[in-house]
Amino acid sequence: MSTIRLGDVAPNFTAQTSQGELVFHDWLGESWGILFSHPADYTPVCTTELGTVAKYKPEFDKRNVKVAALSVDGLESHKGWISDINETQNTTVNFPIIADENREVSALYDMIHPNSDANATVRSVFVIAPDKTVKLIITYPASTGRNFDELLRVIDSLQLTAYHKVATPANWKNGDDCVVVPAIATSDIPKHFPKGYTVVKPYLRLTPQPNLD
């Protein structure tokens, strides 16, 4: 069983999916990625989640994010389940669902927590950068559906802070002021952030989001 931490290279794997064979790193290419697991096919909470992801795919595409789901059931099961998802959620599943019957990918990503369930995956989420490093890990219990608005918010923050010397404060959303990182001296802020800044405390400096016009 692997333990993956932030900054680790996401393990590569080859798997069969609802959209054909997938070699994970090749499939990601230069994109960001989300890999998220489901306890099983034909489960009610998962059905709502996959329908939500299908509806949100334009938002993920806008951010250059590819999405793949995983379940420990097989391809034939996936096909039938996708039909149910499309029907009940009024959408079309438009991303691959990995078949992981042998639990190889689940083991690589430590998605099975025996004290929760010895056979099914918990609701794991991994956000992966174009360099294939893991930037976010969230683990939900099987009983709690994920908030995909929050995942979009986190991706906005990850993409912003990857290219600008800022961090994002509590409850930040796209368009809000950002925190200037401590490594930049207050006297140097104007040359990095010409939109201006506010000093709340010497260690807490705010600036308008730098990648917006």
The pair of structure tokens assigned to 201 is 């405390």
Reported as type and span, the H/E element at residue 101 is: none
Whether 178 is catalytic is: no
CA dist 77 to 45, 74, 99, 141, Å? 17, 5, 9, 23
- The catalytic residue among 46, 68, 99, 166 is 46
Pairing of strands 178-180, 166-167: antiparallel
Q: Specify which residues 127 forms β-bridges with.
A: 34, 136
Q: Quick one: the chain helix, strand, coil %, rounded to 5? A: 30, 25, 45
How far apart (Å, rounded) are the C-alpha atoms in residues 167 and 164? 9
Nearest to 17 by CA among 107, 92, 89, 77: 77
- Residues with a known catalytic role: 46
